[in-house]
Amino acid sequence: MVIYIISDGRPDHLAQTRGLAEALLERARTACPDMQHSSHEVLVAGMSLFSKLFYKGKELDLPRPNLILCAGHGTHLAALSLSRHLRCLCMVCMRPSLPMRLFDLCITPRHDLPDNAVPGSNVFLTYGSINCIKPQPQIEKKYTLVLIGGPNKDFKWEAEHVITQLQTIAAKSSRPIILTTSRRTPEDFVADLAAACPNIRVEPFGQTGATWIADHLASAAEVWVTQDSVSMVYEARSSGAPVGIIEMPRKRAPRKDKPSRLDRSISMLIADGGTNSFTEWAKTNTLPHPDTVIDEAGRTADYILSKFPKLLPH
């Protein structure tokens, strides 16, 4: 099996397509061990709309693909054009901005669809976004991991509000606490946190590598994530650890009659177990341990191979 990943260069989009590609290749290597299986990333960031619309990958010196994966609105046109040219399957790891019928399969987080939506035959619903994280039960769980995001279109950033919750978590924790920031975290947060919580070890985003979060999730006994970072919440849940949500003030009050994509996502996570808000945690100082392991990359890969059996030669 040969897979092309059409990329816009964004790490969150690459995490989805890489996670799915690796799950597919893992199964292909098991089913057909004597064949060559590989994935290749094709960057289309910076290309004009016209170039994407008629993209044929003439500059590529790669084996012909069986499957093209993409994620990110800026990748859709190039992926579809290339798949038509090379006559292979094209799948998108998100709810696309283009009509869903254009893709062979739309791998869509269930919180991206309204509650009453009926998915089409080419839609596969996932529990959150696919990622590259896998549980590592053989590794000792040594600390509490904290993942900090920042302001976005839904949430305001109030450092004092976040730090107050971290002070409470640190006071109740019997384990060391390691914290990292993200691109969106305001620069002065680290200094403010160090003054308020000197017992929390901080490793700022700029000092971490590409595998830092995956490596540290593997050894985390529990994980706390700020409310703005839904993708990090799903990565944390995929590690198998209990997950707490550090609450942030909203820019606008949520609508009960029309919950946002983010509200639906967090509500589903809490309802399914293994995740809780800081407010609920504070009542018992205990996070619920997840009853099930999330492996959406593996589950999606199994579905794809059952729906498109020609991807694996017989």
| Domains of the chain (ranges, CATH numbers) | 2-132+296-311 (3.40.50.2000), 143-284 (3.40.50.2000)
pLDDT digits (tens, 9 = 90+) for 210-229: 889 999 999 999 999 999 88
CB 300 within 8 A of CB 107: yes
Tokens 């040969």 belong to residue: 2
The three-class DSSP label of residue 76 is helix
83 in helix, strand or coil?
A: helix
pLDDT band of residue 314 (cuts 50, 70, 90) is low
17-54: pLDDT as tens digits: 999 999 999 999 999 999 999 999 999 999 999 999 99
Cα(12)–Cα(59) distance, integer angstroms: 26
DSSP code string of 11-68: HHHHHHHHHHHHHHHHHHHHH-TTS--EEEEEE-TT--HHHHHT---TT--SPPPSEE
Single out the residue of 68, 124, 125, 75 nearest to residue 91, CA to CA: 68
Backbone region of residue 242 per phi and psi (left: phi > 0; alpha: psi in -120 to 50; beta: other values)? beta
pLDDT at 192: 95
For 237-285, write each residue's pLDDT tens digit.
Answer: 999 999 999 999 888 766 665 666 676 777 777 877 789 999 999 999 9
